[in-house]
Amino acid sequence: MQEEKKTTSEAPKDTTATQKEQVENQTEESKDNKDVAQDTTDAENTTSQEATEEQEVPDPLELAKQEIGELKDKYLRLYSDFENFRKRKQQERIDLIQNAGSDVLKALIPVLDDFDRAKKSIQDADDEKKGETALEGVEIMYSRLYKTLEQKGLRPMECSEGKDFDPDVQEAIGKAAAPNDELKNKILTEVEKGYVLNEKVLRYAKVIIGA
């Protein structure tokens, strides 16, 4: 009888141990399931991130095509700007050549007016005074013309008798016997006056030098 009681009293202990083991097993399984779920979630996140990174990586060929298109557009714009600049400068040069003498011609118009007035004065003058009137008209016109050209930068060269011959601004068209040794290779006579325009020789003076 005592042995049966002993056996009966040990039975609840075994049952409790078994239940405890089951709880522990369920806890481990739950923990394992959580770990598996976490691993699965991490794997899915990694896969999604990799897919996103693959989608964000641009195609090198497309990038090259885009860059080529931008460069082509920039080149066409620069070429168009240069062509417009070239045409504008060409037109300005043509206008400058065509109108280069307009200022001088405009300044000479009053001289033409003096010629007209002088001619009319000579025609209306008495026969005895025609010569005097003509001379006065010529002097007026010469003075007006000289001042006009001088204002535009034109001035005559100094080629007086006895000065040294300068081949840079003078042209010897002949030689004559010098009256003395001092006038050898010197200017004896100025045949045609030379002119300088803004310090540049416009026409060489023609002279005769002593020999």
Hey, where are the domains in the chain?
Answer: 154-211
Question: For the domain 154-211, what is the CATH code?
Answer: 2.30.22.10
Q: What is the pLDDT along the chain (211 residues), one digit of tens a residue?
A: 444 444 444 444 455 556 556 656 665 655 555 555 565 666 566 655 555 555 567 788 888 888 898 898 889 899 998 999 889 888 888 877 766 677 777 878 888 888 888 777 777 777 777 777 778 878 888 888 888 888 888 888 888 888 888 888 888 888 888 888 888 888 888 888 888 888 888 889 898 888 8
Q: Quick check: helix, strand or coil at residue 195?
A: strand
Helix axes 130-151, 102-124, angle to 10 degrees: 170
Q: Which two tokens stand for residue 10?
A: 């040990």
Task: Check: pTM over 0.85? Answer yes or no.
Answer: no
Q: How far apart are CA 187 and CA 95, in angstroms?
A: 43
Q: What is the pLDDT of residues 38-52, one digit of tens each?
A: 656 665 666 555 555
